[in-house]
Structure 1
Amino acid sequence: MRELGLIHHEDGRHRCPWCGVSPEYVAYHDQEWGVPEYDSRALFEKLMLDGFQAGLSWITILRKRDAFRARFNGFEPEKLVRWRDKQIEGALGDAGIVRHRGKIEATIGNAQGYLEITRTEGDFSKFLWSFVKGKPIVHSRETMADIPTESAEAQALSKALRQYGFRFVGPTIVYAFMQAVGMVNDHLSGCDFHRG
């Protein structure tokens, strides 16, 4: 299976190579990545965390995810839009998260964009999923080299989000988000979790 770029694990399963052998990363690969998510708040959280990941590895964010949830009010947009300097400074002093002022402030602004999308489009989840016509795009890629860093759908969604004032939502970040929440199935074709 090496020719497919897969890793053969001790449990007999074949997995995408990016998850390595770290138990928490393997669990994320098996149980979350590529599984269609339709809950609006969960989608907002994942999009914000992908923005925080910019320039970092996902495992870094994954290990800090609980701290992010605690600091950012469970990523509830209605609470985040009420943040002021005190909350921003508290986040900047929290070693449990990525302390980047621009990304913290973007999260607050993105929460406002989320509420605006909810007002104008009716539902954040339906808005996002409309860019893939409401169902996952299933690919059958054999190696990691076959997976692009963005797509036409990611470019369109990125542009639409920016029109609502979102930041840290470039096409590469948005494509990674789409893969993670199952809008795009990019598990390698030989992966036991391809679910194709």
Structure 2
Amino acid sequence: MTDTTRRPATRDKERTRQAVIAATERLVQERGMRFSIADVAAAAEISKGGVLYHFTNRDALLVAVVEHAIARFHSEVMRHTDITENRAGKLLRGYVRALCGGSDEAVQVFAPFTHWAGIEEIPEIAELLRADAAWWRTALLDDGLPAARTHSVRFAAEGVAAAITTEIAYITADDLALTRAALLELAEPDPA
């Protein structure tokens, strides 16, 4: 192989690291916290040593998975936030759009946290989740709408996201459309 045909080692390392994170995310969605490093290696199609090269232990891997999920969720909400809406509630409306049927990615990233029983027992993850919750609380309250309305719309959107991911038909397409429209309306400033 010549120098011009070799891939940079860091690119391969990063690709492998991302494959390990993706495999772990799939395992968590399928099994909850019941998986091992060997399971991750098999799912990522690399050796157990390959996983441990990137992540020193299972907790470090789970921290990386949560960091990745938080970043993906932020990105999806921002993608659904219309920066041309120059009025209060812009970020909250993006939050509603992302969680209420506008982004399968946001729903899948957000909803599994409710099913990851025990993950918050890892101190680094508990701190990440607290920091992320505080960031959203501050950002959404700084968005210009009254606190009670902001909290109500936010938590309702999160409930809708959880309902979307259930295996049973907890929320119909019509229910979702009506709820999304109502939440978006509530996320608008009062008319002057």
Query: If the length of structure 1 is used for normalisation, what is the TM-score?
Result: 0.23
Query: If the length of structure 2 is used for normalisation, what is the TM-score?
Result: 0.23
Identify, as 1 or 2, the structure richer in helix: 2
Larger radius of gyration: 2
Identify, as 1 or 2, the structure richer in strand: 1
